[in-house]
């Protein structure tokens, strides 16, 4: 009986961790997709205006999308209920020459509730390459 409870608890904890990882990725997926699509409006729509750094995120994402074509890859480094650290990689190409002008990889921290973004830091990660 005790063994069954322990196995159930371990499985429950693993399921919760998987949910946190999924929720973190789901919270940023619209931003990554908008970057790849070059869609400023969709990127900004995915970021709640209540974020403390919304103005900086808006400025950086608008400038980045205007200047470059972006490909993103996002993986979860660590997750806990409502927060995660993400390994975010971007390849940034100049829109006119299509040459890679930057490869950027960094840790992006997010807070979320039920897949809704509550914080995204640092905003400087999303700055245009010449900023």
SS3 readout for the chain: CHHHHHHHHHHHHHHHHHHHHHHHHHHHHHHHHHHHHCCHHHHHHCCCCCCCCHHHHHHHHHHHHHHEEEEEEEEEEEEECCEEEEEEEEEEEECCCCCEEEEEEEEEEEEEECCEEEEEECHHHHCCCCC
Q: What is the pLDDT at residue 19?
A: 86
Q: What is the pTM of this model?
A: 0.83
Q: What is the pLDDT at residue 73?
A: 95
pLDDT digits (tens, 9 = 90+) for 11-48: 444 444 458 999 999 999 999 999 999 999 999 999 99
Sketch out the chain's domains with CATH numbers.
Answer: 2-126 (3.10.450.50)
């Amino acid at each position: 009986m005790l063994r069954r409870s322990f196995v159930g608890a371990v499985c429950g904890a693993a399921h919760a961790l998987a949910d946190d990882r999924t929720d973190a990725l789901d919270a940023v997926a619209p931003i990554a997709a908008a970057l790849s699509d070059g869609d400023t409006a969709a990127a900004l729509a995915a970021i709640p205006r209540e974020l403390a750094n919304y103005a900086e995120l808006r400025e950086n994402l608008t400038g980045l999308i205007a200047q470059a074509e972006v490909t993103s890859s996002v993986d979860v480094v660590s997750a806990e209920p409502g927060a995660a650290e993400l390994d975010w990689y971007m390849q940034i190409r100049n829109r006119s020459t299509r040459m890679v002008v930057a490869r950027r990889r960094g840790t992006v921290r997010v807070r979320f509730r039920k897949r809704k973004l509550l914080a995204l830091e640092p905003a400087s990660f999303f700055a245009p390459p010449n900023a």
